[in-house]
Amino acid sequence: MREFLILNCGFKEENILVLTDQEIEPELIPTKKNILESLEWLVKGCQAGDSLVFYFSGHGVSQPDFDGDERDGFSETICPVDFMTEGMIVDNDINSAIVWPLKNGVTLHAIVDACHSGTVLDLEHVYNRQENKWEDNSPPYGNARKHSDGGLAISLSACLDNQVAADTTAFTEKTMNGAMTYLLIKILKKYQGLTYGDLLDLMHEELEKVNESRCFSRKIFKKIMKRMLLQKPQISASKPFDVYKEHLIL
């Protein structure tokens, strides 16, 4: 993703911060503290015309919502490496860290390749691909703030809130890849000027092709289901827009 942003999207190397569990420097290990500080770094000083990208590839969990601001009764989380001692990073915290500060004219794209990631940014509008319409995801009770300070936040998630996201060798047969990350980069490199709707459709089509090929090559149902990629990538946003007219530009 780092290479893609630099070589294909014009991002400068010095403007990209990468945390991984393979780093040696303590401040670059994705602990809860470091991730939250990095989210603050991402949006600090943002101004009109800025394009921001938050990318997360890792574990995600769905847990009961105790604040009453989730329509399905569950909060989505991402897991830092020290979650066993420090806890998860909850969607409310991600929303307040990188959605609230977005000023008018600033665009944030969150690309989240994790299980249960459909509404992990707690954005107020979720796109229903089957019905081609935006659905309300605003808090059903109370006065919880979920909106930006005028800017636009768009989340591209690996799957719905109740689904898991796969790491798989289905696309290369040699290396393990996050299915969503692999397809996203492959499609954006191959097709120029895609709309958000085009991207979503192509990702779904690619996943369906893999599943169809695996069904024909497997005779035992249980084995098929274990190898199926059942995730459905999803788009959510702080403001609704025409997904087949707006072009995705990182």
Q: Is 59 a catalytic residue?
A: yes
For 192, residues 6+ apart whose C-beta sits below 8 A from its C-beta are none
Give the CATH number of domain 2-161+232-237: 3.40.50.12660
Catalytic residue among 46, 115, 125, 159: 115
Domain ranges of the chain: 2-161+232-237
pLDDT digits (tens, 9 = 90+) for 53-85: 999 999 999 999 988 889 999 999 999 999 999
pLDDT, averaged across the chain: 91
Sheet holding 234-237, edge to edge: 51-57, 107-113, 152-157, 234-237, 125-128, 133-136
* pLDDT of amino acid 219: 47
Q: Is 115 a catalytic residue?
A: yes
Check residue 71 and report its DSSP letter.
T
User: Which pair of tokens denotes residue 158?
Assistant: 């690996």
Q: How many CA atoms lie within 13 A of 41 on its CB side?
A: 15
pLDDT digits (tens, 9 = 90+) for 200-209: 999 999 998 8
Q: Is the pTM value of this prediction over 0.85?
A: yes
pLDDT digits (tens, 9 = 90+) for 86-98: 999 999 999 999 9
Q: Which helix (H) or strand (E) holds 61?
A: strand 60-64
The answer to whether 80 and 86 are in contact (CB under 8 A) is yes
Q: How many CB atoms lie within 10 A of CB 184?
A: 23
